[in-house]
Structure formats: structure tokens, C-alpha cells
Amino acid sequence: MNKMAFVIVNGKLTIGDRVIDFLHPVEEALAYQDLIIVRVEPPAGVIFNKNVYGVSHEGKVLWQIEESPHGTQEDKPYVNIYIGQNDDLIAGNWNGVSYLVNPENGEIMVVSFDK
């Protein structure tokens, strides 16, 4: 597979010469397997808890992460994405829970409670 470079400029993801639009500004993105994993940052006061996406290198959004079922607060977005020790895709949530993310479909499973 020929992976194209991607960059984030002014909150927009660009893959090659294509700008991919999201509802909110892109805060971070990383290459993982055959995907680009994208985390968007909703503005203050906006509740948007499914703020991580799996995107193909052609720019197609393939999935959106599941919302965290943990915590009692309504606003609980994901605050970081990273590749873990075992080459797993991990999403850290505002509520202090880290989740293993299934790269096939965005389903989550608890890895650790961090708070």
C-alpha cells in the first residue's frame, strides 16, 4: 500500500493534496496500520464525546469511536490517542479511563483506570 503523507494545518487534516473536513478542528492524528487515526477538539461548551475517527489514506472516514460508557458527567471526550506498548491503539478519555480501540470499527475496551 502506498501511504500518503498527512499534516494538520489550522485544525484541518490534509492527506496529499486533499483536505478532509470534520465537524470540529483536528487536534491530533497518527498513522496506525492502514489508517490515520484522528482526534478532533470540540469547542468549549459543545458536548461531542465520539471525537476520534479512523480514516483511510484516501481520506474516507471509516468509523467513529464509541462513546465512553464510564462516568456520570455528560461531557467526556477523548483527550489523547497513542500507540501502546503492545502496538495497540489507545484512546485516553477525559474521565480518566484509557481504552483499547478496535482499528476495524472503533469499538472500545477498557485498558486502565487512570484516576
| Contact by Cβ (8 Å): 69, 50 | no
Is pLDDT above 80 for 112?
Answer: no
- Kindly list the structural domains of the chain, giving each domain's residue range(s) and its CATH number in brackets, ordered by start: 6-113 (2.40.10.480)
| Predicted pLDDT at 73 | 85
The alpha-carbon radius of gyration of the chain (Å, integer) is 14
- Whether pLDDT at 2 is above 60: no
- Dihedral angle computed from the Cα positions of residues 41, 67, 34 and 43, in that order, rounded to the nearest 10 degrees: -10
Q: For residue range 19-70, what is the model confidence (pLDDT) as tens digits? A: 999 999 999 999 999 999 999 999 999 999 999 999 999 999 999 999 999 8
Residues 62-76 have pLDDT tens digits of: 999 999 998 888 999
19-57 burial: b if 16+ Cβ within 10 Å, else e: ebebeeebbebeebeebbbbbbbbeeeeeebebbbbbeb
